[in-house]
Structure 1
Amino acid sequence: MNKWIYRPPTEGRTSRQAHADLPDGLYERELGKSGFFGPVTHMMHPHPPTGWTSWEGPLRPRAFDLTRCDAAAPSPWDASEVLSNAHVQFRYWRCPSSMDHLVRNGDGDELLFVHEGQAELYCDYGHLSIEPGDYVVLPRGTMWRLDCSAPVTLLLIEATQSSYRLPDKGLVGENAIFDPAMFDLPKIDEAFKQQSAQTREWKVRIKRRNAISTVTYPFNPLDAEGWHGTLHPVRINVRDLRPLMSHRYHLPPSAHTTFVADRFVICTFVPRPFETDPGAIKVPFFHSNDDFDEVIFYHAGDFFSRDGIHPGMVTMHPCGFTHGPHPKALTRMLTQTKPATEEYAVMIDTRDALDVGAAASRVEREDYHQSWRTAPISGSGA
C-alpha cells in the first residue's frame, strides 16, 4: 500500500528528526501504538522520564536472575515457567543428561534457544547438532529428544495455538538480517540412523492443553528413512544475523525482529556499530510502549543500556509506563567509549499481559524498579 505524503505537527521546543539533534538539556520520550509500527509522538522533557523516586502497586519493571533458578529436570515439560499468557509460554530448562524419552508439543510451535552447552537433537526429520546461540524452530507436533554429554540450558518459547513465521522485511528485502538460505535443516545422517536402530521400548510424552499423555512404542518411532516438503524444523545461530544499522539514526527494536507468531514477536540483539552522527542518540530511546509487554533475556556480552545485569537474567517491562536506559548509560547518550555494542539478547514483545511464574518469582530482584535512580542502590551493581 502506498503511503501518502504528510507532515506531523510540532509544538514548542523539539527536534524535527526523531532520535537525533535533541534541543540542549532535553530528553526525548516516544509514545507509540502497535509497538514500533504505528503512529508515534516524540515528547521533549527537561528531566529523564524514568526519574521516579518511589513505586507502589503491581505495575513495575521487573528482573529475574534465572541463574539462581533450580531449572534441572529430565523433561522439557518439567521446565520452570518464567512468563506466560494465553498465546506464549516462556520456560527455562536445564537438561542434565540425555533424555530417555521423546516429547511432542500439541499446544503450539516450540522455539528452542540454546543458552549454554551442546547437544545432539533428534526429531522426526533427522539430526541437528546444537550449540550456544542456536535458535531451533520445531513445528507443532514434532517428536524430539536431546542427547547430551553435559548439561544444556535452553529457553523454551511456545507459540500457543500458533506457528512461527518470518517477519515482513519490507523495503530491505527477504535477504536482509539473515538470508533464509542460512537455515540449517535436520539430516537423516549416520547418527540419526544409528539412534533409530535402538530397538528398546520408547515412551513419547505428549503435551496438550498443558496435560501430559504418554504413548509407549516397542520400537523407536524416530525411524524415518526420508521426507520432502515445506514444513520442517530450522536452525540458525545468532552469530549468523546481520543487523540493520543506521549511522545517523537509532533504529527501534522492531528492526531486529527474527520471528513472529500470533500476538507476539521475537527480536534478537547482536553486536553492531554505534551510530556515528554527532547528533544521533546512541542508546535506546525512552519510550512508552503502551500496546506490548517487553521481555529481554540476556544471553552474552556487555549489556550497554542496563546496569547490574548479567547473562542468564530476564527483565520484563510491562506496558503502561515509560522505560529506557539506566543513568550510567544515559551519560553516554551522544558519545560512546566503544565503537560497537557487545551484547547478545533475545527479546519477546507480547500484545497481551504476561503472568509471572512461581519459579521466576523466587529469583526476582525486588529492587530492580529502583535501578533508574541516579544514586546506586544496594546490590544494583550500578
Structure 2
Amino acid sequence: MASLSNSPRKAHDNKINMAPNRRNNHTTAAAADEWTTLKYNVGFGNHFATECLPGALPEHMNNPQKCNYGLYCEQLSGTAFTLPRHSNQRTWFYRILPPVVHDEYVNVSVGDIVTDFANEHTTPQQLRWKPMELPAASSSVDFIQGLRTMGGAGDPTLKAGMSVHMYAANASMVDKCFYNSDGDWLIVPQEGALKITTEMGKLLVSPHEIVVIPRGIRFSIDVDGPIRGYVLEVYNRHFVLPDLGPIGANGLANPRDFESPVAWYEDRDVDYTVVTKFAGEMFSAHMTHSPFNVVAWHGNYVPYKYNLDHFCTMNSVNYDHPDPSIYTVLTCQTDEPGVAVADFVIFPPRWMVQEKTFRPPYYHRNHMTEFMGMIYGHYDAKTDDGFVPGGASLHSCHTAHGPDAETFLAASNADLKPVKFEGGLAFMFESNYMMKVTDYAMKCPQMDHEYYKCWHPLPKLFNPKKM
C-alpha cells in the first residue's frame, strides 16, 4: 500500500505561485530562478497531498458541497474505478475553473505523429538513424510540432500496444497545452532542458533525466533553446518499477529518487489552445483561460521525473555478460507476468570485471524488439561512429545483431583487467510487440542505409585443428 506523503524534497512555503507571462520566449531572471529552485514531492507511487493556499484541500473528504476559496473539484482517474486498491490510480484537483469549459474540438494536423500502423513498413532489417536535425533558428517549432513517429504496434482504441517517437524543436508552447488520451509518455531528453508545466505543478527535466507524463494529464513545455530527444508511448496500463527478485529489497532505480510536482497555479484569462491525441488523431479546442489553475490536489496519478545518474547498477562480478533486464529502470507489463509492453533500460557507467569473458554484448537474436538511443558518449558494442548521441537503432524480433567487427576483434583480445566504462549513456525501449516502421523513418535523410555492413568484415576464425 502506497503511503500518504505531503513532504516535498525542500520545504514548501505554501505561497501563491504565479507564472511569468508565457506569451513570448523571453525569460526574466526571476522566472529562470523559479525553475532552478523548484520543490518536489518525493517517492514512487505515493499518495501525495499538496496545496498553494492553506485549507484549499478539503479535510477528510474529496468533493464538498462548496470548496474553499470558490474552487471547483474534479477527479482525474488513471485506472478503472474497480481495479484492486494497490494498483488503483486517481487524483483530485481543486481548481479555479474545470477544464470542461472550452469550445468545440476540431480535427487538426500537428507534427508527424502516427498511431495507425496498418499501412506502415514491415521489415526484419537492422535499422539505424543519425540524429534528427534541429530546426533552423529562423523557424519556430514547439515540442508537439517537432514530434516524429518512428514506429509502433497495436491500437490505442483497444488500449494495447506501444509506439516510439523522436523530437527536435526550438520554441516554447505559448498559450498551448497538450494531453495524450492514447497512453503514457516516457520522455528522454538528449539535448536541451524541458521546462514542463503540468496540472499538478512544474518539472525541470534535463538530459540525464527522464520524465513520465501519464495519459490525460495536461502539460506545456517551455525551452530556452534547441531540444532533441526520444519518447516511448505505451497504450496499456502504466509504468511501474520492475520486480527485483533475488536482487533483494534494494537496487536499480530506488523509489525515493523519483520526484513529482508540488501544487502550482496561475489565474490567467487568455486565448488558450488545448491539443489532444485521441485514437491516433489530433484535435484542438479553444479555451479562455489557462488550464494550469489547480490550487491544490491530492492523489497518486501524477507525472514524475528520475535522474538516471542515481541508478544503482548491477553486474556480473566473476564471469559472463548478464542479460540487459538487470538494467531496467521502469517497465509496463502485459497481462502475462514478466512480459513487457515496454521496458525502459539503460546502459550506464559501470565497472566491468568479468574474467575469461567477452565483455561487450554478445551476438543475439531476441524474442523482444529493441529500439535504442544514445544520450551522450559512445556505446561499448559499436566503434564505427554510426551510433551517436541523438541517433537511434532498431533490432526487431529475432533479427540478428551484436558488436561490430572492430569491437569483436578488440574485445576478443583485450586485457581483462577491471575497467570502468564511463564513456556514454545508451538506453533501450524493449517491447514484446513487433514494431512496424513509419514512412517517415524509412525515408528520412537520417536513415543509415549501410548499417548492416558493419558486420561484413567479421572474419571466419574456425580451425578444427586448433582449440
Q: Tell whether the 8 Å contact from 2:179 to 2:275 is kept in structure 1 after alignment.
A: yes
CA distance in 1, matches of 2:251, 2:307: 15
Q: Tell whether the 8 Å contact from 1:88 to 1:157 is kept in structure 2 after alignment.
A: yes
Alignment of 1:243-282 (within 5 A): 243-249=313-319, 250-261=321-332, 262=334, 263-277=341-355, 279-282=356-359
Of the structure 1 ranges 102-111 and 115-124, higher mean CA displacement relative to structure 2 is found in 115-124
Task: Give the match for residue 207 of structure 2.
Answer: 132
Residue 261 of structure 2: SS of its match in structure 1?
A: coil
Q: Which amino acid aligns with 1:300?
A: Y
Aligned-residue offset at 1:344: 0.6
CA distance in 1, matches of 2:361, 2:202: 39
Q: Which amino acid aligns with 2:150?
A: V
Q: Which runs of 4+ in 1 moved over 6 A?
A: 69-72
CA 1:314–1:366 in structure 2 vs 1: closer, same or farther (change >3 Å)? same
CA distance in 1, matches of 2:382, 2:416: 14
Task: Give the match for residue 80 of structure 1.
Answer: 148
Task: Give the match for residue 167 of structure 1.
Answer: 242
Q: Which amino acid aligns with 1:93?
A: Y
Task: Give the match for residue 406 of structure 2.
Answer: 328
For the pair 1:218 / 2:288, whether they are aligned, the reply is yes
CA distance in 1, matches of 2:147, 2:431: 21
Q: Tell whether the 8 Å contact from 2:210 to 2:306 is kept in structure 1 after alignment.
A: yes
CA 1:302–1:286 in structure 2 vs 1: closer, same or farther (change >3 Å)? same
CA 1:119–1:328 in structure 2 vs 1: closer, same or farther (change >3 Å)? same
Q: Which amino acid aligns with 1:254?
A: S
Task: Give the match for residue 288 of structure 1.
Answer: 365
1:359 aligned to which of 422, 432, 440: 440
CA 1:69–1:97 in structure 2 vs 1: closer, same or farther (change >3 Å)? closer
Structure 2 residue runs without a partner (length 5+): 1-121, 155-160, 335-340, 460-467
Task: Give the match for residue 427 of structure 2.
Answer: 346
Task: Give the match for residue 234 of structure 1.
Answer: 304
Aligned-residue offset at 1:216: 2.2
Q: Tell whether the 8 Å contact from 2:196 to 2:219 is kept in structure 1 after alignment.
A: yes
For the pair 1:201 / 2:271, whether they are aligned, the reply is yes
Aligned-residue offset at 1:74: 2.6
CA 1:356–1:157 in structure 2 vs 1: closer, same or farther (change >3 Å)? same
Q: Tell whether the 8 Å contact from 2:134 to 2:226 is kept in structure 1 after alignment.
A: no
1:297 aligned to which of 373, 382, 391: 373
CA 1:351–1:69 in structure 2 vs 1: closer, same or farther (change >3 Å)? farther
Q: CA RMSD in A?
A: 2.3
Task: Give the match for residue 90 of structure 1.
Answer: 164
Any idea what the Cα deviations from partners look like across 1:34-70, whole Å, max 9, x if unmatched? xxxxxxxxxxxxxxxxxxxxxxx94221111133476
CA distance in 1, matches of 2:248, 2:268: 45
TM-score (structure 2 length as normaliser): 0.63
For the pair 1:66 / 2:131, whether they are aligned, the reply is yes
CA distance in 1, matches of 2:226, 2:237: 29
Of the structure 1 ranges 57-66 and 123-132, higher mean CA displacement relative to structure 2 is found in 57-66
Aligned residue pair count: 313
Any idea what the Cα deviations from partners look like across 1:114-150, whole Å, max 9, x if unmatched? 1111131100110111111211011110100111121
Task: Give the match for residue 221 of structure 2.
Answer: 146
Aligned-residue offset at 1:167: 1.0
TM-score (structure 1 length as normaliser): 0.76
Aligned-residue offset at 1:103: 0.1
Task: Give the match for residue 21 of structure 1.
Answer: none
Aligned-residue offset at 1:353: 1.3
Aligned-residue offset at 1:158: 0.9
CA distance in 2, matches of 1:371, 1:319: 20
Residue 369 of structure 1: SS of its match in structure 2?
A: helix
CA distance in 2, matches of 1:156, 1:183: 18
CA 1:136–1:92 in structure 2 vs 1: closer, same or farther (change >3 Å)? same
CA 1:62–1:336 in structure 2 vs 1: closer, same or farther (change >3 Å)? farther
Any idea what the Cα deviations from partners look like across 1:205-257, whole Å, max 9, x if unmatched? 01111112222221111111121222211100211112112221321111111
CA distance in 2, matches of 1:95, 1:88: 23
Aligned-residue offset at 1:175: 2.8
Q: Tell whether the 8 Å contact from 1:73 to 1:79 is kept in structure 2 after alignment.
A: no
Aligned-residue offset at 1:179: 1.0
CA distance in 1, matches of 2:453, 2:416: 24
1:306 aligned to which of 353, 376, 382: 382
CA distance in 2, matches of 1:128, 1:236: 11
CA distance in 1, matches of 2:400, 2:324: 15
Task: Give the match for residue 30 of structure 2.
Answer: none
Q: Which amino acid aligns with 1:299?
A: I
Aligned-residue offset at 1:78: 5.3
Q: Tell whether the 8 Å contact from 1:77 to 1:207 is kept in structure 2 after alignment.
A: no
Q: Which amino acid aligns with 2:394?
A: M
